[in-house]
C-alpha cells in the first residue's frame, strides 16, 4: 500500500478515543485524539498497524527522514479564569457541573487544505472554535466607515465600487449612495464584506461570522454573488467562517472544513449551483407599490403598463413591466419600463433572467421588444448575451432628443439626454433556453 495515498485514518469504536491521521504527500501532517495529541511514537504505531509495514519499511515507503508536525497540529488548550462567587457556585450545583473558576477549550485543528484556492469555508456550530481557527490563519479586517460619506465613496473609483459591491450582490444604486449607518442589516453586512474584499486587494481575505446576522435569502444571494466574483476575478485566499451549512451549495467553496467532523472536503472540478425556477405571473400596476422604492431611477409607473409579478416558489422576489413603443419604422413594438428585484434576492442573477423572459413573451407573441438601462451589470450582461443585439443608440448620449410639446415623456427624455445607456433589442436564439 502506498502510504502517500492515505488521506485519513479513523477509529470509531466508542470504547476508544478517535484517532485521525492525515498525510500530505510524504509528510505526516497531523494526528489527533479528541482533546489531546498523541506522541510521535504513537502515531507511528497507528500507521504500522494500519499499513502492516515495519517501522523501517514505513519510513522508507513514506520517504520520511523525520516527522513534521504543522504549527497548528499541537494546538494548546485555551483556558480562562473568573472569580467564583455565590452565583457561580449555585449554577454549578444546580446543573451538577464541576467548576473551580477555570474553563478550558481545545480548538479544532485544520488539516491540509488545497493550495492556491479561491474560497475556503470553516463551518460549524457556535462555540466550536471557528473564529479561533480563522484567526490562526489570518487577521480579519474591520472596515472603517465615515458616516458623512456614501458607501460608494469609500472606494477609489466608481468602477471599483461597482466591482466590489456587485461581488456581494449589493446592486441597489440608492443603497450605494447612502452612508453605512443608514443601511439595513442585510445591506450593511454586504457593504462590510465588499470593503473587506477591497482591503484585501486580491490577496488573502479572512471574514468571520459570514451570513450570521442576515436572513437566509440574503445569505444565499450574497454567497452566490461572492462565488461569481471569485471565479471572474481570480481573487485567491478568501477564507470564511460561518455557523450556517445552507450557504455551501450557493457558495461552492474550493474546500470546506467542518468542525463537527474535523475533516476537509473539496469541491471537485465543477461548480454545481442549485437550480432556481422563477415564474412571471401577470399582474396590474397596483402591485408596483411594493417595489417602487427599490427602483434605481423612479418610483413612477405608466398606468398602461403590462406587468408581471416575479415569484420564487411562494415568495415574490421581483416585478417587471413593459409599455408600447410607438415608432414610425416598425409596428407591434414594446419596450422595457420597470424591472426590480428585491434587495434580499439581488446577486443571484434574477434581473437578467427576468428581462430575458419578458423579451421571450413578446417575441412569442410576434412583437419586437427593446430595453434600455443605465445599470452597468444588466447592460454588460446584454452586451455579452446572444439573446440581445445592440441598437444604433447603444451606449450613446441622446443629444438628438428635441424639446417637443412639453409632455411628461418629453420632459423625461430631456432630463436624460446626456446620460449614456445600454440600448438593446431582444432577438432570442434557437437552442437558447431561459431558465
Nearest Cα residue to 137 out of 287, 255, 15, 8: 255
* Mean pLDDT computed over 361-370: 95
Question: pLDDT class for 328, splitting at 50, 70, 90?
Answer: confident
pLDDT at 434 over 50: no
Residue where a domain stops, chosen among 244, 266, 288: 266
- The CATH number for 306's domain is 3.40.630.30
Helices (H) and strands (E) in the chain, counts: 12, 18
- State residue 238's pLDDT score: 97
pLDDT at 75 over 60: no
What pLDDT digit, counting tens, does each position of 97-143 carry? 889 999 888 878 888 788 889 999 999 999 899 998 998 888 888 89
* 152 and 260 fall within a common domain: yes
* Mean pLDDT computed over 309-334: 93
Residue 71 lies in a domain: no
Residue where a domain stops, chosen among 215, 231, 266: 266
* 332 and 408 fall within a common domain: yes
* 285 and 403 fall within a common domain: yes
pLDDT at 72 over 70: no
pLDDT at 42 over 80: no
Measured distance CA(372)–CA(402) in Å, rounded: 19
- The CATH number for 166's domain is 3.40.50.300
Measured distance CA(362)–CA(367) in Å, rounded: 5
Number of domains in the chain: 4
Nearest Cα residue to 382 out of 339, 412, 419: 339
Residue 407 lies in a domain: yes
* 134 and 247 fall within a common domain: yes
- State residue 61's pLDDT score: 52
- State residue 300's pLDDT score: 87
What H or E segment, with its residue span, contains residue 163?
helix 158-166
Alpha helices in 291-407 (DSSP H): 350-364, 376-384
Residue where a domain stops, chosen among 266, 287, 317: 266
DSSP letter at 49 equals: H
pLDDT at 46 over 60: yes
* 219 and 352 fall within a common domain: no
- State residue 13's pLDDT score: 31
* 284 and 304 fall within a common domain: yes
Residue 107 to residues 6, 99, 102, 110, 326, Cα–Cα distance (Å):
24, 20, 16, 10, 68
- State residue 28's pLDDT score: 38
pLDDT at 25 over 80: no
Residue 66 lies in a domain: no
* Joined grid coordinates for residue 84: 467564583
* 162 and 225 fall within a common domain: yes
* 188 and 133 fall within a common domain: yes
* 46 and 171 fall within a common domain: no
pLDDT at 296 over 50: yes
Top pLDDT among 43 and 328 is at 328
* 393 and 304 fall within a common domain: yes
Residue 96, domain extent:
76-106
Question: pLDDT class for 21, splitting at 50, 70, 90?
Answer: very low
Measured distance CA(151)–CA(173) in Å, rounded: 11
Measured distance CA(370)–CA(422) in Å, rounded: 11
* 291 and 413 fall within a common domain: yes
Residue 114 lies in a domain: no
Question: pLDDT class for 41, splitting at 50, 70, 90?
Answer: low
What pLDDT digit, counting tens, does each position of 80-102 carry? 899 999 999 999 999 998 899 99
Residue 68 lies in a domain: no
pLDDT at 411 over 90: no
What pLDDT digit, counting tens, does each position of 168-196 carry? 999 888 899 999 999 999 999 999 999 99
Residue 297 lies in a domain: yes
Picking from 29-43, 122-136, 223-237, 287-301, which range would have the lowest pLDDT averaged per residue? 29-43
Top pLDDT among 62 and 230 is at 230
Top pLDDT among 275 and 209 is at 209
pTM of the complete model: 0.70
pLDDT at 375 over 90: no
- State residue 35's pLDDT score: 30
pLDDT at 47 over 70: no
* 346 and 367 fall within a common domain: yes
Query: What is the pLDDT of the chain when averaged over all its residues?
Result: 80
Amino acid at each position: 500500500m502506498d502510504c502517500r495515498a492515505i488521506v485519513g485514518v479513523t477509529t470509531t469504536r466508542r470504547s476508544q478515543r478517535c484517532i485521525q491521521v492525515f498525510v500530505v504527500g510524504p509528510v505526516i501532517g497531523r494526528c489527533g485524539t479528541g482533546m489531546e495529541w498523541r506522541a510521535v511514537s504513537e502515531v507511528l504505531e497507528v500507521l504500522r498497524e494500519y499499513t502492516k509495514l515495519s517501522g523501517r519499511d514505513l519510513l522508507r515507503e513514506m520517504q520520511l527522514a523525520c516527522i513534521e508536525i504543522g504549527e497548528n497540529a499541537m494546538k494548546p488548550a485555551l483556558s480562562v479564569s473568573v472569580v467564583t462567587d455565590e452565583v457561580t457556585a449555585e449554577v454549578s450545583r444546580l446543573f451538577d457541573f464541576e467548576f473551580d473558576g477555570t474553563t478550558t477549550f481545545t480548538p479544532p485543528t485544520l488539516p491540509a487544505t488545497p493550495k492556491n484556492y479561491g474560497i475556503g469555508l470553516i463551518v460549524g456550530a457556535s462555540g466550536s472554535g471557528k473564529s479561533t481557527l480563522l484567526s490562526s490563519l489570518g487577521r480579519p479586517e474591520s472596515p472603517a466607515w465615515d458616516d458623512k460619506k456614501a458607501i460608494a465613496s469609500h472606494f477609489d473609483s466608481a468602477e471599483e465600487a461597482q466591482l466590489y459591491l456587485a461581488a456581494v450582490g449589493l446592486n441597489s444604486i440608492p443603497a450605494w449612495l447612502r452612508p453605512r449607518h443608514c443601511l439595513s442589516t442585510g445591506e450593511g453586512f454586504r457593504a462590510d464584506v465588499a470593503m473587506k474584499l477591497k482591503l484585501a486587494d486580491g490577496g488573502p481575505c479572512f471574514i468571520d461570522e459570514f451570513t450570521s446576522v442576515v436572513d437566509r435569502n440574503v445569505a444565499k444571494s450574497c454567497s452566490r454573488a461572492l462565488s461569481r466574483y471569485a471565479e471572474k476575478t481570480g481573487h485567491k485566499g478568501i477564507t470564511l467562517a460561518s455557523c450556517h451549512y445552507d450557504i455551501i451549495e450557493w457558495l461552492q467553496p474550493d474546500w470546506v472544513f467542518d468542525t463537527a467532523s474535523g475533516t476537509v472536503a473539496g469541491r471537485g472540478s465543477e461548480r454545481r449551483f442549485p437550480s432556481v425556477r422563477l415564474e412571471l405571473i401577470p399582474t396590474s400596476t397596483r402591485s408596483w407599490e411594493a417595489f417602487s422604492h427599490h427602483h434605481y431611477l423612479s418610483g413612477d409607473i405608466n398606468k398602461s403598463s403590462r406587468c408581471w409579478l416575479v415569484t420564487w416558489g411562494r415568495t415574490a422576489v421581483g416585478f417587471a413591466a413593459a409599455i408600447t413603443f410607438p415608432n414610425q419604422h416598425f409596428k407591434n413594438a414594446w419596450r422595457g419600463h420597470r424591472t426590480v428585484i428585491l434587495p434580499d434576492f439581488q446577486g443571484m442573477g434574477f434581473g437578467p433572467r427576468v428581462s430575458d423572459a419578458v423579451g421571450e413573451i413578446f417575441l412569442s407573441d410576434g412583437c419586437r421588444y427593446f430595453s434600455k438601462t443605465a445599470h452597468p451589470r444588466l447592460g454588460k450582461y446584454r452586451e455579452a448575451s446572444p439573446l440581445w443585439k445592440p441598437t444604433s443608440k447603444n451606449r450613446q448620449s441622446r443629444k438628438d432628443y428635441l424639446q417637443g410639446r412639453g409632455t411628461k415623456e418629453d420632459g423625461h427624455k430631456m432630463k436624460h439626454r446626456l446620460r449614456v445607456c445600454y440600448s438593446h433589442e431582444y432577438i432570442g436564439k434557437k437552442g437558447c433556453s431561459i431558465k
